Amino acid sequence: MRIYCIRQAAYHTRMNISTLTAPARQVPPLLMLMTLAIGFVMAMIDVTAVNTALSDIAVSLSVPLTGLVWVVDGYTLTFAALLMAGGALADRFGPKAVYQGGLSVFILGSILCAVAPSGHALIAARLLQGAGAALFMPSSLSLLTHAYEDQATRARMLGTWSAIVGCSSAAGPLVGGILVHEFGWRSVFWVNVPIGLLGIALTQVLAPATARHERDLSMLSHVLGVAALAFLSFVLIEGPVLGWLSAGVLAAGAAAVAAAVLLVRRERSGAHPLLPKALFETPAFAAANGVGFLINFAVFGQLFLLSLFIQQGGADALQTGLKLIPMMAAFAVGNLTSGRITARVGTRPPMMYGLMAGLAMAVLMLIGLRPDTPYWLLVTVAVVMNVAIGIAIPGMTATVMLVAGKANANSAAAALNANRQIGALVGVALMGTVMHVAPQWALRLPLAFTLIAAAYACALVLVYRFVNPARPGGV
């Protein structure tokens, strides 16, 4: 009996050792990619679908133009402001747990949006949605970076990931148009619930847990960042309505500047900055983040503007969605093309030539777009422009993640997406300002595309000056 027990113990010991040393179960790369893209897919469908629902929301809840800007930018505000906190939380608690937690918060916010009784309640629920997205977005990119060891494979997967996001953006207007047409604008938010639950379940089953890194959360810095963006949003959105020299707008502007100055001082002198100082040792990191800001400024400003432009011409939500599909699908085409180019020649060429072509098309829109321009001409130029920008986006993302490496993947992903969301926030707000300042579309369109062309031109300068062609990957 004693000998038997000894043999059994030895057997179980060997089994435990073999279990510990056996290789981890391999998940098919595309299945893992789909799992980690679900969160952002849900968020992008929501953003683009909401644009097609703006007219119905305005009528249903009696929301003015300023309120519609808040419906779009309220989500972007908390998304952008809390992304750095999302990256820090992913370091402390692990990206898998934070990714699932962010999806849960987003689902709750979607439910509250769907049952909102007023415009103010809808805006508040959109703020909660943005907070959830801020949690799952950096975690998804971090998990994706850890999932692929080979640099070329990672570049291809980042391109495919961007393409999936682009496809969801392209599908958003159609999904939104069908839902609003058939079931009303509230269904745009209800659709997030099953998608989010699927994402939580797949992540639990497929995504491996990664190492945690203890980091100080720098709560004061996060509060200052939120305050600066909130006051800036108030100035940009309410300025045209209340008056740029009104007491409230001037006070908000002063508060935004004060919060930003205090944040910069704290980041320079603090022992625990929001971003590791190592990330700023190469200019390519800051340049790529600037490109992200400018691209989102132009893309989301254009989406907001063209959505209302198409709807003011008499198109309902479904017709608007159908007309926006080619313009949004163009980003996915560009992303897929860029993935292979980036893997072969690095990140700089697709960024350079994509931005050059996008700038040329924006200038063409500036010169030729009028209220009576035929739809086929508008969509042709917009598609070419968006394909070109779609080629540039994966190169920008890959540049940031190559600079960061695995050690700073969470923080770098959070910084990139924070800058992109701030760009979207400012772009939509300034398009709202253009619509307030210019009463007629004949003046609104050239003003808006002047801003878009300027954004692409500045992005091109950043890539040309700071993304180094002499190093692998352009960094």
**Residue 147 covered by a domain:** yes
Q: Are 417 and 386 in contact (CB under 8 A)?
A: no
**Residue 360 covered by a domain:** yes
The Cβ of residue 254 has, within 10 Å, a number of other Cβ atoms equal to 12
CATH assignment of the domain containing 61:
1.20.1250.20
Do residue 455 and residue 438 come from a single domain? Answer: yes
Choosing from 236, 256, 271, the residue where a domain stops is 271
Which among 80, 34, 344, 307 has a CA at the least distance from the CA of 177?
307
Do residue 199 and residue 260 come from a single domain? Answer: no
Q: What is the DSSP string of 89-155?
A: HHHHH-HHHHHHHHHHHHHHHHHHHHT--SHHHHHHHHHHHHHHHHHHHHHHHHHHHHH--SHHHHH
pTM (predicted TM-score):
0.76
Do residue 426 and residue 324 come from a single domain? Answer: yes
Do residue 368 and residue 258 come from a single domain? Answer: no
Do residue 304 and residue 224 come from a single domain? Answer: no
**Residue 11 covered by a domain:** no
**Residue 18 covered by a domain:** no
Task: For 22, list phi and psi in degrees, rounded to 5.
Answer: -70, 145
**Residue 343 covered by a domain:** yes
Do residue 126 and residue 213 come from a single domain? Answer: yes
Per-residue pLDDT of the chain (475 residues; tens, 9 = 90+): 444 444 444 444 343 433 333 334 466 667 777 777 787 778 777 777 788 888 889 989 988 888 988 998 888 888 888 877 887 788 778 888 888 999 999 999 999 999 999 999 999 999 999 999 888 877 877 777 776 666 666 667 766 776 676 677 677 788 888 888 889 899 989 988 998 898 888 888 877 666 666 656 677 887 888 899 889 989 988 888 888 889 999 999 999 999 999 988 887 776 667 777 777 667 888 888 999 999 999 999 998 899 888 888 777 878 888 888 888 888 878 877 887 787 777 788 899 999 999 999 999 998 988 888 888 999 999 999 999 999 998 888 888 888 777 667 767 777 887 888 889 889 988 998 898 888 888 899 999 999 999 999 999 999 998 887 545 445 5
Do residue 178 and residue 284 come from a single domain? Answer: yes
Question: What CA–CA distances, in Å, run from 36 to 42, 49, 92, 343, 429?
Answer: 11, 21, 19, 21, 30
Do residue 183 and residue 202 come from a single domain? Answer: yes
CB under 8 Å to 10, separation ≥6 — which residues?
A: none
Domain count, the chain: 2
**Residue 1 covered by a domain:** no
Choosing from 206, 241, 271, the residue where a domain stops is 271
**Proportion of the chain in helix, strand, coil states, percent, rounded to 5:** 85, 0, 15
Do residue 142 and residue 37 come from a single domain? Answer: yes
**Residue 7 covered by a domain:** no
Q: Which domain holds residue 254?
A: 219-271
Do residue 80 and residue 139 come from a single domain? Answer: yes
